[in-house]
Structure 1
């Protein structure tokens, strides 16, 4: 019995497990102490930007979380137009009672090649977005690819910022996606994520594929 006790005490695997348990216990105490101070709630201004893939995908993940919780939400697409997407099809077919979906764009700017038309489409999308954000029943409003419209000055970024500051209901989340987010928008946002491009199959001759890109 003495030999077994001594052997157990010097067991390196058991020592590692003990150290790990003690380390995680200390981490939990520290984490719980931090979390106890996080009691506030507010509607967030969320920006997804950067050259990497996943900006809209991550935003739609939050929209589907809202749908899962039965929270009314809405989507306004500023650039994507005629192209079919899985997200739009799924929401319009099965969740239109919870999530409004407005595709207001006419395609990418290099496809339309008409600045006046692009400005008109972006302006109409912004008017729709403002109405949806003002409606306090909507817990989240996703402004998909609005950063592109702002980048090309189809919409005045200062107008967007002033509206979000003055008229966004306190508990409404607004998500703005697209590359090249304006510095002024990043400044007022509560949560900003930049998607970094490391590798992309497009550079290897692989086209966008259903279920991955759309």
Structure 2
């Protein structure tokens, strides 16, 4: 037993030394372009986790929702009720395109959301700006992907983080990102007839 403990401790000490050496070389700080995509659940949830971290660190931030319309969500309710001084929140969409069934209106709303997003990103007091479900608007060509990538490359302040969520992120957007995560769907209750529920989905 003692030999096992000693072997374990020696192994962990070696891992810690290797990890410390790696971490010692990581000294740069910069505003990141972060993409959450994939068919699995958790893209917006993870992004809002980062927004709440910013709020907890007293860092001004902002959210622009590109698709979700008047739907009641826990994140928006909590932020607007308790953290409106730290996080600006704009719900600019009117629902998914199959609900609105009005492409020209969808394009108009997406363009308005992108205009607001650019304004918020250019404001250097915002340390993070979440563009929730923008990837859906990009996929349907409501907003030009090349324009978004060029704006982020040329105009995003150096220390501002921008998070872009939604399925089907383009290869070009993923390539432009500093951090990209694909949520993989393994199992979902919706397939078993369970509807979206408060506290889990919204």
Name the TM tier (shorter chain). over 0.9
> Is 1:93 aligned to residue 90 of structure 2?
no
Unaligned runs of 5+ in 2: none
- 2:111 alignment partner in structure 1: 123
Q: How many residues align?
A: 202
TM-score (norm 2): 0.99
RMSD over equivalenced CA pairs, Å? 0.4
Question: Which residue, out of 98, 115, 130, partners 1:110?
Answer: 98
Unaligned runs of at least 5 residues, structure 1 = 1-12
Deviations along 1:62-99, one digit per CA (max 9) or x if unpaired, are 00000000000000000001100000000000000000
Q: Highest CA radius of gyration, 1 or 2?
A: 1
Equivalent in the alignment of 1:191: 179
Which residue does the alignment assign to 2:124? Answer: 136
| Cα distance, 1:56 vs structure 2 | 0.1
SS of the counterpart of 2:72? coil
Distance, in Å, in 2 between the alignment partners of 1:17 and 1:121 is 61
Deviation per CA, 1:106-158: give whole Å up to 9, x if none.
Answer: 00111001100000000000000000000000000000000000000000001
Using the size of structure 1 for normalisation, the TM-score is 0.94
Distance 1:14 1:107 in 2: 62
**For 1:19-61, what per-residue CA distance to the aligned partner results, in whole angstroms no more than 9, with x for missing partners?**
1000000000000000000000000000000000000000000
| 1:16, distance to aligned residue in structure 2 (A) | 1.1
